[in-house]
Amino acid sequence: MDLANQQISVNPCLDVNATLGIDEAYLSVVNKYNISITLFSDLLECFMCYGVPTAVLPANKNSTLVIPTKYPLQVFYQANDYLYCQTTYIFKEHGSYGWNISQEDLCSDIYTIREPINSYLPIFVAFMVFTLLWVLFATCRVVIRVVKGKLSPDTVHDDLDRLQEAETSNPVMRTSRVSTRIRSVDTFRGITILLMIFVNNGGGKYVFFNHSAWNGLTVADLVLPWFAWIMGLSITISKRSELRVSNSRGKIILRCLQRAFILTLLGLMLNSIYTKSLKDLRFPGVLQLLAVSYFVCAAIETVFMKAHSQDDLLQFGRFTVLRDILDSWAQWCIILAIATTHTLITFLMPVPDCPNGYLGPGGYHHFGKEVNCTGGAAGYIDRLVFGSHMYNKTHNPVYGTILRHDPEGIMNTISVILVVYMGVHAGKILLLYYQCNARVVRWLLWSGVTGLIAGILCHFDKESGVIPVSKKMMSLSFVLTVSCFAFLLYAILHFFIDYKQYWSGAPFIYAGLNPITLYIGHIITMNLFPWAWKLTHATHWSLLAMNLWTTTLWGVIAYWLYLKDVIISI
């Protein structure tokens, strides 16, 4: 974090045209020393960081600075070659704060001059509005059904119609492409893709709707691995169906390869939107990551999966309770070998001038000792293989200037294979067990086991574990954590949607029917009207409203495709 770049001017409050931006506040520092002093600061989010110079405060003057409020801030100052008063304070948006510094009172408390705004009020208002709209929509549907049932002229013939239907030997069954799908799967997928659209458009600029600076877990960090997880569950269903109607596993693998190739091509096309020349075209990407992980898991399943019948399940005897694991022992051996190889490369591969097993961001991290070690082995491999054809942003909002690091790079793609296969196994539980309780209990057990292992690896702490939870690195603890939540969420959805049928899955189920179409569409139309527009003075209110509008509009488009029974598959 370089607050020197964020400082607007000395005493910006005296400028009538000065306005605070999102997650900013004023800090007025009164320097009562007879000499100039240097103010240092660093964000509390910055792990093992040393404060960077923020401003030089003139002697016997009041200097007002613009400071960030997204994370708690640590401040201290240097006078007479000594450092004084390291204080951590939670500044809040658009507040005005004061701090008096003097030789007599080396470390006075920071005080509030003007109260901050409630930056989380827009979230509460948005939640209430959407809840009200949902209640209104549900009420209207019930009223319409009741009115149609009572007032329709056809109701006088209900009894006769029932008799005629009973005597009909070949009743007409109306089906559609949507009616043959598993509702909980589409709902899970819809939740993921709509959440992805929301966070990709900014998420109202709230810290928990944006990706973590490096370690940690936010809502935004869940969306991509969740999409990969539910893709894995779909692999189980689709490959089992294909194996039952086809005798050629080779043709199935070729179709998987074709789908992976198309996804990769689409990903490169989307990357080209932000590239001026081919020499800077980013090769990795979200669709590329999904393509590779999909092909690996789909190919493994195609080779080893059995098209089970009910009699085949009896082969496990007394171990039938574990048949979901025993049935796929060969696949698990391969997946665990891939995960082990990834871990060994991460911790044992030598990286020039960097400690083995480094998982940090470089920059200010570890007091700047590993400034050129961003991403450790994973970052080094990507920079070696892709060169300029990778993610080009080198400024981290917390850790300052870092080396290029691609969140969808080679090592991260390998790591996601484990997430996809966790979804594959969830699908096997869905197919092999016919009672809801048997399914839900197993999903919850997998949720508990993956969560416990993840907790042990990260020591149930954000920074101090052996393998911290990091979406940037797709670390093993992160992969297991997101899988834990995925198992839990799907167990809940399956129980309420497929089993109890308390909820139809709407409106998320509609988005889950065409997720890739919505993803590509929202990337192409990002920042284009009517999905978005330029804001003169952006605030949490305006950004949250616009981002929710963008997400809602894509939800409406998904519903329109559903009404037309259009499912665009690759």
Q: Residue 360: which of 87, 48, 90, 86 has the closest Cα?
A: 48
| Separation of alpha carbons 51 and 248, rounded Å | 63
| Two structure tokens written together for 82 | 């000594």
Q: What is the DSSP string of 512-539?
A: TTSHHHHHHHHHHTTT-TTT----SS--
Do residues 396 and 363 touch, judged by C-beta distance below 8 A? yes
| Separation of alpha carbons 509 and 183, rounded Å | 7
Secondary structure, 3-state, 51-99: CEEEEEECCCEEEEEEEECCCCEEEEEEECCEEEEEEEECCCCCCEEEE
| Separation of alpha carbons 464 and 457, rounded Å | 10
Kind plus residue range of the DSSP H or E element containing 442: helix 436-458
Q: What is the DSSP string of 318-379?
A: GGGGGHHHHTTHHHHHHHHHHHHHHHHHHHHS-BTTB-TT--S--TTGGGGTTTT-TTHHHH
Question: Under DSSP, is residue 399 helix (H, G, I), strand (E, B) or coil?
Answer: coil
Task: Identify whether 211 is a catalytic site residue.
Answer: yes
Q: Residue 290: which of 124, 439, 408, 388 has the closest Cα?
A: 408
Do residues 51 and 40 touch, judged by C-beta distance below 8 A? yes
Cα atoms in the Cβ-side hemisphere of radius 13 Å centred on 225: 36
Cα atoms in the Cβ-side hemisphere of radius 13 Å centred on 419: 35
| From 94, 211, 366, 425, active-site residue | 211
Q: Residue 406: which of 481, 454, 471 has the closest Cα?
A: 471
Residues 6+ apart with CB under 8 A from 172: none
The β-bridge relationship of strands 24-31 and 96-101 is: parallel
| Separation of alpha carbons 187 and 512, rounded Å | 6
Residues 6+ apart with CB under 8 A from 538: 21, 22, 205
Catalytic (active-site) positions: 211
